[in-house]
């Protein structure tokens, strides 16, 4: 019984230590308070397990078990953190006009990879900044991910460039947020565009570039969002498109394992990028919403509530972090690590909220979400009076 107890507790200690290391690397470092809490909890569990082990078995076996677990943990960390040499590898990154895409394209080119940076406007400000900062390793491509002819043109250009070596990486980063609004109010055209850009475009690009990725036994990295796993009021369609991409990534990971192509999902939380749009784009989307909302919904929600919706974008942007380096670091790890993880969750609460969503009772999580995701103080007109509509 003592041997079995030792084995069980040793496995327990090893698991706690491993999960601590996983959680720390997957984004907790972005939030000091969360990092401290998780570290303190894990250390308490390890010490408690160690004390239990000491009381049940002899010291020699106790020390041997801990030594074995420590060696296994160090070996696993060394293997996982080993990075591949970047020279001779080429990567296609979509959505490089700004945000994650632009930061990643510059970072990869500075590491020595050849980067094909897809942009919506090859003559725009973002493209010019890429050219200035990226050097000879960065190639700017006109690439609207919903335009089949532009995708085919990019494929021909990249195939000519990489030849038989193949394409090492495809990063499906391009995405749109559209307009945070109650699902009932969301224009159907905007919903279709969200699915086209955030999900179907990634499917199309994977299908087109997989022959080149197989040659290199390379990587596919898809960019999702915490909204794709955690239900967030106002982001129903956006979250659905990212959830579809997340599930597709999981299936693709299983299907391509035999080919040596690895698939990773980046699920950022709380970073400020141009996906929030400008005041002009918010006004345009609001006008589209007002033009398509039904008379019944307009009466129930009221003009005041509908007019308050653009403020959600501003508040979400203000609450987001400007430093994109945690996301870029995870991108680079997914592309260059010998053992990339299937999921990366950089950002404040990037792992905590999904954990609560999976583990908390529905009523408890709904109460948490109702407080966290309240981006307007205005209530719909139909909820301001207890009197039913006649």
For 313-323, the pLDDT digits (tens) are 666 656 566 78
Using CA atoms, how far apart are residues 109 and 131, in angstroms rounded to an integer? 11
pLDDT of residue 270: 75
Mean pLDDT of 331-347: 94
Instruction: Please state, as a whole number, how many other Cβ atoms lie within 10 Å of the Cβ of residue 183.
Output: 13
pLDDT of residue 31: 40
Share of the chain above pLDDT 70, in %: 71
Instruction: Return the beta strands (E) in 212-346 as ranges.
Output: 219-223, 262-266, 343-344
pLDDT, tens digit (0-9, with 9 covering 90-100), for 101-111: 999 999 999 99
Burial (0-12, 13-18, 19+ Cβ within 10 Å), 74: exposed
pLDDT of residue 321: 64
Answer whether residue 96 shows pLDDT above 90. yes
With contact defined as beta carbons under 8 Å apart, do 270 and 347 qualify? yes
* CATH fold of the domain at 90-348: Rossmann fold (3.40.50)
Q: Which of 114, 112, 115, 68 is nearest to 95 (CA)?
A: 115
pLDDT, tens digit (0-9, with 9 covering 90-100), for 144-170: 999 999 999 999 999 999 999 999 999
Name the pTM for this structure.
Answer: 0.78
Answer whether residue 224 shows pLDDT above 80. yes
End-to-end C-alpha distance for the chain, whole angstroms: 73
Answer whether residue 21 shows pLDDT above 60. no
pLDDT of residue 69: 60
Q: How far is CA 226 from CA 253, 271, 310, 351, in A?
A: 19, 11, 21, 9
Answer whether residue 44 shows pLDDT above 70. no
pLDDT, tens digit (0-9, with 9 covering 90-100), for 65-76: 655 665 555 555
The 3-state DSSP class for residue 125 equals: helix
pLDDT bin (cut points 50, 70, 90) of residue 35 is very low
Exposure string (b/e) for 336-345, b if CB count within 10 Å is 16 or more? bbeebbebbb
Mean pLDDT of 273-298: 74
Mean pLDDT of 34-43: 50
Using CA atoms, how far apart are residues 84 and 138, in angstroms rounded to an integer? 19
354 vs 21, more confident:
354
Domain boundaries, the chain: 2-81, 90-348
Using CA atoms, how far apart are residues 28 and 267, in angstroms rounded to an integer? 13
239 vs 13, more confident:
239
Exposure string (b/e) for 45-56, b if CB count within 10 Å is 16 or more? bbeebbeebeeb
pLDDT of residue 32: 41
Answer whether residue 200 shows pLDDT above 90. yes
pLDDT of residue 279: 62
pLDDT bin (cut points 50, 70, 90) of residue 33 is very low
pLDDT of residue 250: 98
Residue 43 DSSP class: H
Question: Hey, which residues are catalytic here?
Answer: 238
């Amino acid at each position: 019984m003592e041997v079995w107890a030792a084995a069980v507790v040793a496995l327990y200690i090893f698991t706690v230590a491993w999960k601590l290391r996983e959680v720390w690397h997957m984004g907790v470092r972005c939030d000091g308070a969360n990092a401290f809490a998780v570290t303190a909890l894990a250390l308490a569990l390890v010490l408690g397990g160690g004390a239990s082990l000491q009381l049940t078995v002899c010291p020699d076996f106790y020390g041997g078990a801990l030594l074995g677990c420590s060696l296994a943990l160090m070996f696993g960390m060394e293997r996982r953190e080993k990075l591949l040499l970047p020279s001779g590898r080429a990567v296609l990154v979509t959505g490089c006009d700004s945000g994650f895409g632009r930061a990643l394209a510059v970072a990869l080119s500075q590491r020595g990879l050849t980067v094909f940076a897809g942009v919506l406007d090859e003559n725009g400000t973002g493209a010019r900044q890429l050219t200035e900062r990226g050097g000879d390793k960065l190639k700017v491509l006109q690439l609207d991910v919903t335009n089949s002819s532009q995708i085919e043109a990019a494929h021909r250009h990249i195939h000519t460039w990489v030849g038989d070596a193949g394409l090492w990486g495809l990063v499906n980063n391009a995405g749109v947020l559209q307009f945070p609004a109650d699902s009932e109010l969301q224009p159907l055209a905007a919903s279709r565009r969200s699915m086209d850009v955030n999900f179907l475009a990634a499917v199309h690009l994977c299908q087109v570039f997989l022959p080149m990725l197989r040659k290199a036994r390379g990587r596919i990295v898809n960019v999702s969002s915490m909204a794709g796993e955690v239900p967030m009021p106002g982001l129903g369609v956006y979250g659905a498109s990212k959830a579809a991409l997340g599930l597709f990534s999981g299936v693709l990971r299983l299907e391509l394992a035999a080919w040596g192509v690895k698939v990773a999902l980046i699920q950022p939380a709380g970073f400020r990028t141009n996906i929030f749009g400008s005041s002009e784009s918010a006004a345009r989307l609001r006008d589209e919403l007002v033009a398509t909302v039904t008379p019944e919904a307009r009466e129930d929600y009221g003009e005041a509530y509908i007019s308050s919706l653009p403020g959600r974008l501003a508040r979400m942007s203000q609450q987001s972090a400007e430093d994109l380096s945690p996301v870029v670091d995870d991108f680079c790890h997914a592309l260059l690590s010998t053992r990339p993880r299937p999921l990366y969750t950089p950002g404040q609460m990037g792992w905590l909220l999904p954990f609560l969503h999976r583990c908390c009772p529905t009523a408890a999580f709904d109460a948490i979400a109702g407080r966290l995701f309240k981006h307007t103080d205005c209530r719909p007109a139909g909820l301001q009076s207890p009197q039913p509509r006649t």
